[in-house]
Each structure stands twice: as structure tokens, then as C-alpha cells.
A and B are shown apart, each in its own frame.
Chain A
């Protein structure tokens, strides 16, 4: 453990798990799609659902999806900011099942596509991304993360993996649509990767998203 984790981070209150952690989950989604979505639905579960206004969880989630930094004092005014840039947002209290009490499912829509990311805030600002488009994973966001929608065909994975010249820390893979023969591959990278643009040249790759790790300390 690094002692800087104890003396920081600089953040916006009131709670590292309800505010900072929530914001990190939605900022992961912002970094993933690389833009502010047109529309976002936040499905709040457990204590996120019970206390989201008193903890500013709603404003933190909105701030994260708009790409604000963790210590930006405009987080407080994120409803106004969202209105200003024309972001459509919805908060829904729901039951996501047997998951961590501080869990949110974020559904976003951009001009081109839609995605669903589920994550939980596990304390001290630490998070786990637990599902991306129904593929279960366990991402701490301590690594650069690569998310690839690819054709579900023989040899697809090995072609993708040989296209990445770096160490791979963790790998998650699942078929997401049988009819369209699509699969989702999530890769946590051990070291920086520069050539991921080459992925677009690989025939099995349909879409890819690179989420650089986001230092909050």
C-alpha cells in the first residue's frame, strides 16, 4: 500500500465510496466511449439507490459521464452542466440482484451505438467494473483496458492477441450475440501499448475501445 493513498486523494465530498467511487465508474464509461453520450441511464442499486441525493452520488455520476476531473468543484452543479450541453439523463432506483450494495448500471447511447457498464464502489474511491455489455469481468481500472467487440469466429482471439504487443494481465471473453456472431473481449494490459490502432486493421475486430488507466491520486 502506498502512503499517498492514505493522505489523499483530492476529491469532492462528501464520501469517497458514494461520491468519488461513483464518479470513477461513470468516468470509466466516458473514457471508454471517448465522448459525452447523447443519453445516459443510471440504474442505482442498494445503498446507491437509498442515499444517492444526500451523498451527491447522482451529481458525481453525471459529472463522471461528462468527463469532469475528480476535484472539479463544478461536480456540485453537474445537473446545470448537463442541461447546458444537452445531455439526456435518467436516474432509476432498481434492484440489480445479488451485487455489492454500492452498484450502478450505466446505459449509454451515442450516435453510433449503445453500451451497458455495471460497476461497484468498494470503498476509499476504489471501484470494480463488473460487467460490460453483459460480459462479466472484474476490472479495478489499475490497468489500461482494451475492450473489443469482435466477430465470434474461429481464430479471432488469437489474431487479436497477436496484434497486441504487450503483456496481458487479465483477459475476459464472451459471446454477446449468437445471431450476429459477435463476442466481446476485455483485456487488462500490464504495460503501455502504442500500437492498438492496428487492431482496426484486423478483420475480426468490429469495434474497439481503449480506456487508459486514470490516476486519481
Chain B
């Protein structure tokens, strides 16, 4: 699936992009558009519930390498961030720490990157009061953006590095925001391209191989990138390189990443002195 083809189809059919996506899914595998939409709504509601339930909570994660970041940030009154970014950041930390604590999450697109899209959805609902159906439309569009990447590259850190997980989630969150706020599909593709460009080459280097360090904080930072790229796209800033070409470039970068940098827990920050000594310390408890 090329995103530019979906935009062309949108112009040809004169239907909104989210409807075009549902139709093209039906053409591809016979899925019922109403059922797809209902399922998307269930995912959205689950995301919002999970955000609400875990918001700013201190959690006990499996390895104990994190668990109080959401709590700390929730206690803090930001000095530079606006309300939208702040709420989204607390939510992203909360959801990611719930994930690391075996809590219920929506793997959107993966468990390791599950904080970003739900945090964006939560802030849009909570701060901007965006109606649920608009968010469903946005989530469908985000799903199409994610599918484009999954088909051409991968959404797995083990295949193409963290750019494929956090990068994809950020592009999805950014597109969701832009579509929910503007219904403008060209702006969506720019937002997605800007996000991917910002995170291209990002390595997957979890300490000990566990979805905790740096994953939790990376989710929280990434939702801010999604917000920034969405705002840029909404202002009319365009990505010079079109989204579909950025995806191709990302795929090539994924192929060039050394294996150590693809979820093996052997490269990047996972190979630092501190990471190694931390792992030695907790290994006894984990085996």
C-alpha cells in the first residue's frame, strides 16, 4: 500500500480518507467496513481507559529498572511545556510503565511502542475535547500509515531497529492528530514523513533485552515529536521528501543497521558499563 495511492483514491472517489481506507481494506480481504470501524473504536476506548487508569501512577515493573517515571512527572509542574504536551507525556510514561508491569495495553503498533498513539489520543480527548468519532477516523488513518511502513519495512525493532517501532508509532500518532484536527490527508502525509525523518536510524538497544530502558522514556519523548510534527504539518510546513520515499529510505537504513543495534540487547546503551553491571545485579532475580 502506498499512501500517495490512497490520497489519489480519495480525490477520485470524493470520499473522506478514512472511508477510502476502510473501502480499500474491504477490497483487499473482504473485511466488513462497519466491523473494522467498530473494532477501531474498541481499540480507541481501550487506549483511553488504560491511559486514565494508569495516569501518573507508580508501577512495579518486571525488572524494576523503571516504574516511577510517570509518578515523578505527574508530580511535577512543567516550566516550559504546555498542557497538551504535559498530559501526553505523563500518559505515555504511564502506559509504557503499565506495559513493563504486565498491565493491559494496546500494542499500537507494538508493545514496546504502545505509549505513543494512546497518549496522543488521550491528550486530544482530554485537553482538546475532540469527539470520539473524530478520533476513530484519525486512528483508522494512523492504521493506514502504520500499514504502509509495516509492508515496506517492518514494525519490529529486531528487523529494522527502533525507528521501525517508535518511529512508526510516532508517525501514526502525528497523523492521527493531524487527521482528527483537520481531515486533511496531504497534511497527514507530511506529518508522518516529518516524524519518520526525525527518528530515522534510531537503534533498538534495550538494556538486558527488556522493554524498559530506554523504551519507557523514549515513548514519552516520541509523543512530543509527534505533537511537534503534527503542529508543523498543520501550519502548512511540508516534508520536502514525500512520505512513501521516506519509508523506502527507512527500509534501507534498517538494512544497514548492525545486528547489535536491532533488539539484541548487545549494542547501543545496552552495551554500556552501567547496563552490564545492572544486568549482573538483577540476573539472579530473573533466572
The stretch from B36-44, B77-85, B86-94, B190-198 touching chain A is B36-44
A10→B146 contact, CB < 8 A: no
Does B105 lie at the interface of the complex (its beta carbon under 8 Å from any beta carbon of A)? yes
Tell me the dominant secondary structure on chain A's binding face.
mixed
Please indicate the chain A residues that have their CB under 8 angstroms from the CB of B61 in the complex: 14
Does B58 lie at the interface of the complex (its beta carbon under 8 Å from any beta carbon of A)? no
A56 to chain B, nearest CB (A): 5
The stretch from A71-79, A105-113, A150-158 touching chain B is A71-79
Chain B 184-216 per-residue mask, 1 if CB under 8 angstroms from chain A, else 0: 000000000000000000000000111110000
B43→A54 contact, CB < 8 A: no
Does B271 lie at the interface of the complex (its beta carbon under 8 Å from any beta carbon of A)? no
B209→A124 contact, CB < 8 A: no
Chain A 32-70 per-residue mask, 1 if CB under 8 angstroms from chain B, else 0: 000000000000000100110111100100000000000
Given that A3-B144, A123-B156, A124-B156 are contacting pairs, would A10 and B106 also be in contact in the complex, using a CB cutoff of 8 Å?
yes
Does B2 lie at the interface of the complex (its beta carbon under 8 Å from any beta carbon of A)? no
Bound-state Cα–Cα, A179 to B176, Å: 62
With an 8 Å Cβ cutoff, the count of chain B residues facing the other chain is: 55
Bound-state Cα–Cα, A3 to B172, Å: 12
A14→B110 contact, CB < 8 A: no
A53→B146 contact, CB < 8 A: no
A95 to chain B, nearest CB (A): 15
B111→A54 contact, CB < 8 A: no
B108→A50 contact, CB < 8 A: no
B114→A9 contact, CB < 8 A: no
Please indicate the chain B residues that have their CB under 8 angstroms from the CB of A9 in the complex: 106-107
With an 8 Å Cβ cutoff, the count of chain A residues facing the other chain is: 35
B110→A10 contact, CB < 8 A: no
B102→A54 contact, CB < 8 A: no
B63→A13 contact, CB < 8 A: no
Given that A3-B146, A9-B107, A11-B111 are contacting pairs, would A50 and B209 also be in contact in the complex, using a CB cutoff of 8 Å?
yes
Given that A3-B25, A14-B211, A124-B110 are contacting pairs, would A53 and B46 also be in contact in the complex, using a CB cutoff of 8 Å?
no
- The chain A residue with its CB closest to the CB of B100 is A14
Contact of B158 among A2, A123, A217 (CB under 8 A): A123
A13→B105 contact, CB < 8 A: yes
Please indicate the chain A residues that have their CB under 8 angstroms from the CB of B106 in the complex: 7-11
Given that A2-B31, A50-B209 are contacting pairs, would A13 and B99 also be in contact in the complex, using a CB cutoff of 8 Å?
yes
B287→A20 contact, CB < 8 A: no
Please indicate the chain B residues that have their CB under 8 angstroms from the CB of A20 in the complex: 107, 111
Chain B 55-66 per-residue mask, 1 if CB under 8 angstroms from chain A, else 0: 000000111000
Please indicate the chain A residues that have their CB under 8 angstroms from the CB of B140 in the complex: 3
B62 to chain A, nearest CB (A): 5
A residues within 8 Å of B by Cβ? 1-16, 19-20, 47, 50-51, 53-56, 59, 71, 73, 75-76, 93, 123-125, 217
Additional A-B contacts beyond A11-B106, A12-B102, A124-B107 (18; CB < 8 A): A1-B1, A1-B150, A6-B109, A11-B107, A13-B105, A14-B62, A14-B100, A15-B112, A15-B211, A20-B111, A51-B209, A54-B62, A54-B208, A55-B62, A55-B209, A71-B104, A76-B102, A93-B287
B residues within 8 Å of A by Cβ? 1, 21, 25, 28-29, 31, 36, 39-40, 42-43, 46, 61-63, 98-112, 114, 117, 139-140, 142-144, 146-147, 150-151, 155-156, 158-159, 172, 208-212, 282, 285-287
- Can you give 21 A-B contacts (C-beta < 8 A)? A2-B25, A4-B40, A5-B150, A7-B109, A7-B146, A8-B43, A10-B46, A11-B105, A11-B106, A12-B102, A13-B99, A13-B211, A14-B211, A15-B111, A19-B111, A51-B209, A54-B286, A55-B210, A71-B104, A73-B104, A217-B39
